[in-house]
A and B are shown apart, each in its own frame.
Chain A
Amino acid sequence: QVQLHESGPGLVKPSETLSLTCTVSGASISRITDCWAWIRQPPGQGLEWIGNVYYSRSTSLNPSLKSRVSMSADMSKKQFSLRLSYVTAADTAVYFCARVQDLEERHMYYMDVWGKGKTVVVSS
């Protein structure tokens, strides 16, 4: 059974960098079809896609966050990571990682396994 677990600081100061790691268990992250995503949800609001990281280590990022976001993957540790720089209070949210099935040729994109989420508060 595939499980994902987000970890990292729950409190980040304004203007600093938020760093989170997602650890995958029960599955490989080194198959050529593998794709993993970060999504966030501010308090009382909806879901916002942050970006995808692929087996090739290429990334696709939300244009509204692109200038502040980087994502990476460490296949040997079965982990992928998110870094969001220059955070403000608006970045306070629950951050989720998810496994993605990105089937472009079948016009399908879905996230079939989610982590429980990590609450990150931006405050001094």
Chain B
Amino acid sequence: SSELTQDPDVSVALGQTVRITCRGDSLRTYYATWYQQKAGQAPILVIYGKNSRPSGIPDRFSGSSSGNTATLTITGAQAEDDGDYYCNSRDSRGIYVIFGGGTKLTVL
């Protein structure tokens, strides 16, 4: 399969936990990568591999995976977490690179 599916919109109350999911057949083989993008800016890497965070990414961000679904969890969402989140991996055959359609996270 060459698709990754994300819910378009998710909201969370300030300080609460939110989970953003990404579904696709390729995730049975490849880890999902997660990016955060704020309006007018380039994406930044937040989670890669099994559950790794680049330097500078707060530990309230974590990743997990089960079957064909990857989940980005933000524990104790902050106002600055507002933005778009994209998942990414290789396709099922490992030939091409695919992105999910993105999830717009609103922190209330």
A binding-site residues for B, Cβ under 8 Å: 37, 39, 46-49, 52, 60, 62-63, 96, 101, 104, 106-112, 114-117
Contacts and interface: CB of A to CB of B under 8 A. Distances in A.
A109 B42 contact: no
B44 A109 contact: no
B99 interface: yes
A47 B45 CA distance: 14
Given A109-B89, A116-B42, 10 more contacts: A46-B102, A47-B35, A47-B88, A48-B99, A49-B88, A49-B97, A96-B42, A108-B49, A114-B43, A117-B42
The 3 closest A-B pairs by CB, nearest first: A110-B33, A110-B48, A49-B97
Contacts of A107: 29-31
Contact of A109 (B30, B54, B100): B30
A112 B96 contact: no
A117 B39 CA distance: 12
Contacts of A111: 33, 35, 43, 45, 88
Interface magnitude class on chain B: 20 to 34
A96 B86 CA distance: 15
Contacts of B29: 107
A117 B29 CA distance: 30
